[in-house]
Amino acid sequence: MYQNSPLLQFAENQLQIIALLFMAVVYALKIRWIFRFPEGKDRQAPGGNGAAGAAKGAKTSLLAIAMPWTMASTRNHGLLYAQFVIFHLGVAASIAMSFLIPYAPELMRGPGAVLGLQALFGLAALVGVVRLVRRLSSPYLRAISSPDDYFSLALLIVWLAFSALAALESQRGEAHEWPLTAYFFLTAFFLIYVPFSKISHYIYYPFARWYLGRTLGHRGSYPLVKGA
């Protein structure tokens, strides 16, 4: 039976643990910083006809990401929302795979498991390319883009491409280590870099959506009620 090299063993075990711990510490500090700000207070009486409310507004706002029909930006741009879903599913699957390969490889040996992962990673990488081209070609997106936007997107595209290679190589049992080694080193770099990049918006997203929905719900304007 083929034995992984010491470099690959380090990359898929100790290196990943170090990177995850580093990311967890940075995010814990960020969340602690967020909670240091005083909570916003509503200065007006509750509005609406009782169909809305602070708690319902906050919950609806937080879950809006999974309900595209509730927002005009996703309701009117279904293709962009589909790209969003595919891209983020690919990222989530690649993160999960970084745990499955070293600790639960048997879960990737089912019929079509590797093929399914490769298809998802390929589609997600393609979406990443489309997003990068769109960001480069649109004068409006260029105006609000920073170097980090381009670097992060390019990094994700390369990482997803190596994820597709790593999914295949993880099942071969041969000395084809370079795709796996590159994948795990890219994953570790990604975990360390993300807390300092704009990709970390997903840490701020729940707080922003919760407080926005709570405020609008308190005013009686969210969620929208038919016939109101």
Range with lowest mean pLDDT among 18-32, 59-73, 128-142, 178-192:
59-73
pTM of the model: 0.85
Q: Report how far residue 190's alpha carbon sits from residue 119's, in angstroms, rounded to the nearest whole number.
A: 22
Q: Report how far residue 75's alpha carbon sits from residue 79's, in angstroms, rounded to the nearest whole number.
A: 10
What is the band of 170 on the pLDDT scale with cuts at 50, 70, 90? Answer: confident
Nearest to 214 by CA among 93, 91, 98, 56: 56
Domains of the chain: 6-34+46-219 (1.20.950)
What is the band of 225 on the pLDDT scale with cuts at 50, 70, 90? Answer: low
Q: How is 5-41 classified by DSSP, letter by letter?
A: -HHHHHHHTHHHHHHHHHHHHHHHHHHHHHHTSPPP-
What is the band of 1 on the pLDDT scale with cuts at 50, 70, 90? Answer: very low
117-138 burial by CB neighbour count: b if 16+ within 10 A, else e?
A: bbebbebbbbbbeebbeebeee
Confirm if 180 and 166 have CB atoms less than 8 A apart. yes
* pLDDT (tens digit per residue) in 74-109: 888 888 899 999 999 999 999 999 999 999 988 888
Instruction: Calculate ∠ Cα 148-195-71, nearest 5°.
Output: 75
Q: Report how far residue 132's alpha carbon sits from residue 174's, in angstroms, rounded to the nearest whole number.
A: 35
Nearest to 42 by CA among 51, 29, 55: 55
Q: Which amino acid is at 220?
A: G
Provide mean pLDDT across the span 172-176. 63
* pLDDT (tens digit per residue) in 103-154: 998 888 876 889 999 999 999 999 999 999 999 999 999 999 999 999 999 9
Confirm if 179 and 162 have CB atoms less than 8 A apart. yes
CA dihedral in degrees (116, 174, 104, 11; nearest 10)? -110
Rg of the chain taking only CA atoms, in angstroms: 21
Residue 73 confidence (pLDDT): 80
Q: Report how far residue 75's alpha carbon sits from residue 222's, in angstroms, rounded to the nearest whole number.
A: 17
Q: Report how far residue 19's alpha carbon sits from residue 174's, in angstroms, rounded to the nearest whole number.
A: 27
Q: Report how far residue 210's alpha carbon sits from residue 81's, in angstroms, rounded to the nearest whole number.
A: 21
Residue owning tokens 């967020």? 34
Q: Report how far residue 103's alpha carbon sits from residue 12's, in angstroms, rounded to the nearest whole number.
A: 9
Phi, psi of 71, rounded to the nearest 5 degrees:
-125, 135
What is the band of 49 on the pLDDT scale with cuts at 50, 70, 90? Answer: low
